[in-house]
Amino acid sequence: MILSISFVHKLAFYTMFSTLSDSAQSALAETFGVVDVEVKWERPQDPSHGDAATPVALQCAKKAGKSPREIADRLVEVLSAESDIEKAEVAGPGYVNIWLTTDALIRTLGTVRSACTAKVKRENEAPVIIEYSQPNIAKPLGVHHILSTVIGQSLANVSRHLGYNTVTINHLGDWGTQFGKLAVALEKWGEKPVDVCTLDDLLELYVRFHKEVENDPTLEDAGREAFRKLEEGDPDLRKFWQSVVDITMQEMQTLYDRLHITFDYTQGESFYEDKMQPVINEGKEKGVFIEGEGGALIVEFSEESNMPPAIVVKADGATIYLTRDLATILYRVSTIKPQAISYVVDVAQSLHFKQLFATVEKLGWDLPRLEHVVFGRMSFADKSMSTRKGNILKLQDVLDEAHKRALIVINEHGEKIQTDDVDQLAEIMGQGAVVYGVLSQNRKMDMIFDWDKALSFDGNSAPYLQYTHARAKSIVEKAGGLEGIESIDSLSTKERLVLNTLLQFSGVLHDMQRSSMPHILANYLYELCRDYNSFYNEDPILKADEPARSFRVHLTNLTADVLKTGADILTISVPDRM
């Protein structure tokens, strides 16, 4: 936890510091002959060390042939002369810490306001494609699907917010031998026609198939045969497949609505059925696809890459997952012409994506930036949420459980929570708790989900965020609106703290977008809530005298806006009242 917050501090440079950077840079060039060095500002961990600090003296000491302290001394001298700086000091082995004037700090508040407004889409810029969710159909969504789904959606949201031309795609797993197996199972054991089946019925059939195949291996062949017929266009099998797709999509949509998930395109693997042959031909012609064991078509990779060969077409002529992914890239490159494609997919598929990216490189295509945005596993601290072997824990059940638990929490808090619609609040809190529980953790690590933590009112959780937002909103409402900010002579320690944290917002959004790490934003919002609440507990707001009162209402209003903007990006709703 602490670790990830310090990560934010390192990356979230103050964007408005460019003039200060410029004067430091010229001093470095003139006095020490050091050019080509970027002066970056970090926020000190301890607010008593100033509003910002730069390690640049340490970074260029070697180049300059001087001690870091000597360089830092010179920078302090130059920076102290700047009108926006109240005080500059050397700290430690050669850090330069600065304190801004109250005026300068307040002037920069406008940048926070504009960071809350979505930038206009840069239409003429090549799009970035973000692909996420991608469930395999004919099964209910399992709880693990929430990872790709909300990580991907939040990355798409931040990308759009920052004005990137963003295209989102749900690459459904809607093709492959499993449909042949399902068709066989339905024919053998189905009790009703497919179009009146629920997803649970389909899952049951699928599970039954896998059980029966252990005693009757011919079922496997029957399944493969049925899929072959489906591929060849058998009308009955096509109809069956379409029904399965429709049933799945319908149920999935309810969950996507609940989670605030939208896609520009839903293009499953089946979409590429007729787009694979040209790729296969091209690979063969270019000598990239070669004959492997038993007549399969394979790709081999260089020794240093340490990857086993990948199959592109199986010995029996069947195409596979990788073949469809190759066709997918070609299609996207030629129709959407993206500058980047991000695949938000489980770390278990790392080898697949390495092989895919290496293969398209070998094919010599003009490629966008390709990135596999990995994530680890999610498990529950609560053992009752673990599943018996072969069963899936359904996402819907987890969201229902979250709703139920949120209701209990609301009732426990009694008068402290005010709402006109308890059920709606429980849904917002429950959905928020689950989503925030995922997005507040470093996606690259395995995550542990803990109900008590996720629904707590005073921890790093969605309810804490939601409650802080509602508190800030109610203060602004009671204040009867916003007055213009008059100049203020000095800031209290807590005002300064909140102000400094607010000023990080734009940098945090850019960091999240650049690194594809939603927890940077989640942890920042938590930090803002803590800072705001400590300000609220220490400084009077509505009872303060002017001009402090107006200023504090402004800070409160901006805090609410930043919390709402950030929560929206994370797909979480924050109520105005609770």
Judged by CB under 6 A, which stretch of 129-137, 224-232, 487-495, 502-510 contacts ligand ARG? 129-137
Residues 6 or more apart from 319 whose CB is under 8 A from it?
276, 280, 312, 313
Residues 4, 134, 319, 557: which binds ligand ARG (CB under 6 A)? 134
The nearest distance, CB 191 to ligand ARG, in angstroms, is: 28
Q: Judging by DSSP bridges, how do beta strands 297-299 and 310-313 pair with one another?
A: antiparallel
Report the residue from 43, 74, 160, 171 that binds ligand ARG according to the rule CB under 6 A.
Answer: 171
How far apart are alpha carbons 494 and 534 in whole angstroms?
A: 7
Nearer to ligand ARG, 28 or 276 (CB): 276
Nearer to ligand ARG by Cβ, of 131 and 561: the residue is 131
- Residues facing 90 on adjacent strands: 96
CB of 343 to ligand ARG, least distance (A): 5
Nearest-angstrom CA–CA distance, 425 and 410 = 9
Alpha helices (H) in 415-547, listed in sequence order: 422-439, 451-454, 462-479, 493-503, 505-515, 518-538
The residue of the chain with the least Cβ separation from ligand ARG equals: 173
Q: If 0-12 CB within 10 Å is exposed, 13-18 middle and 19+ buried, where does residue 430 land? A: buried
- Give whichever of 53 and 310 is closer to ligand ARG, judged by the CB atom: 310
Answer whether 355's CB lies under 8 Å from 322's CB: yes
- CB of 322 vs ligand ARG, minimal distance in Å: 9
Tokens of 143: 């709880």
205 versus 345: smaller Cβ distance to ligand ARG: 345
Q: Are the C-beta atoms of 523 and 5 separated by less than 8 Å?
A: yes
User: Per CB under 6 A, which of residues 480..519 are in contact with ligand ARG?
Assistant: none
Interface pick for ligand ARG out of 23, 59, 136, 165 (rule CB under 6 A): 136
Angle subtended by helix axes 145-161 and 395-413, to nearest 10: 70
Q: Which residue lies nearer to ligand ARG by CB, 47 or 173?
A: 173
In 305-398, the DSSP E strands lie at 310-313, 340-344, 369-373, 378-380
Identify which range of 86-94, 130-138, 187-195, 569-577 contacts ligand ARG by CB under 6 A: 130-138
Euclidean distance between CA atoms 231 and 269, whole angstroms: 12
Report the C-alpha gap between 120 and 552 in whole angstroms. Answer: 30
Structure tokens at 551: 């200023």
Instruction: Kindly determine how many residues on this chain lie close enough to bind ligand ARG according to the rule CB under 6 A.
Output: 9
- Select the span of 63-71, 131-139, 359-367, 401-409 touching ligand ARG (CB under 6 A): 131-139
By CB under 6 A, tell whether 175 contacts ligand ARG: no
Asked if 205 and 185 count as a contact pair (C-beta separation under 8 A), the reply is yes
Of 171 and 443, which has the nearer Cβ to ligand ARG? 171
Nearer to ligand ARG, 188 or 210 (CB): 210
Does residue 272 touch ligand ARG according to CB under 6 A? no
- In angstroms, give the least distance from the CB of 344 to ligand ARG: 8
What the block records as the tokens of 417 is 């929570």
In whole angstroms, the minimum distance from the beta carbon of 131 to ligand ARG comes to 6
Omega prior to 547 cis, within 30 of 0: yes
Nearest to 248 by CA among 174, 191, 147: 174
**What is the rounded CA–CA span in Å between residue 122 and residue 161?**
11
For ligand ARG, give the closer residue by CB, 101 or 136.
136
Cβ at position 368, least distance to ligand ARG in Å: 14
Work out whether 173 is an interface residue with ligand ARG (CB under 6 A): yes
Residue number with CB closer to ligand ARG (152 or 566)? 152
- Helix ranges restricted to H, 260-298: 277-285
131 versus 427: smaller Cβ distance to ligand ARG: 131
State in angstroms the smallest separation of the CB of 186 from ligand ARG.
Answer: 22
Stretch that binds ligand ARG, among 76-84, 128-136, 259-267, 312-320 (CB under 6 A): 128-136
Min. distance of Cβ 367 from ligand ARG in angstroms?
A: 15
Q: Which residue has the tokens 């003009």?
A: 366
User: Binding to ligand ARG (CB under 6 A): which residues in 320-349?
Assistant: 325, 328, 343, 345
Pairing of strands 128-131, 340-344: parallel
CB of 232 to ligand ARG, least distance (A): 23
Whats the size of the chain, residue-wise? 578
Instruction: Name which of 147 and 462 has its Cβ closer to ligand ARG.
Output: 147
Contact positions vs ligand ARG (CB under 6 A): 131, 134, 136, 171, 173, 325, 328, 343, 345
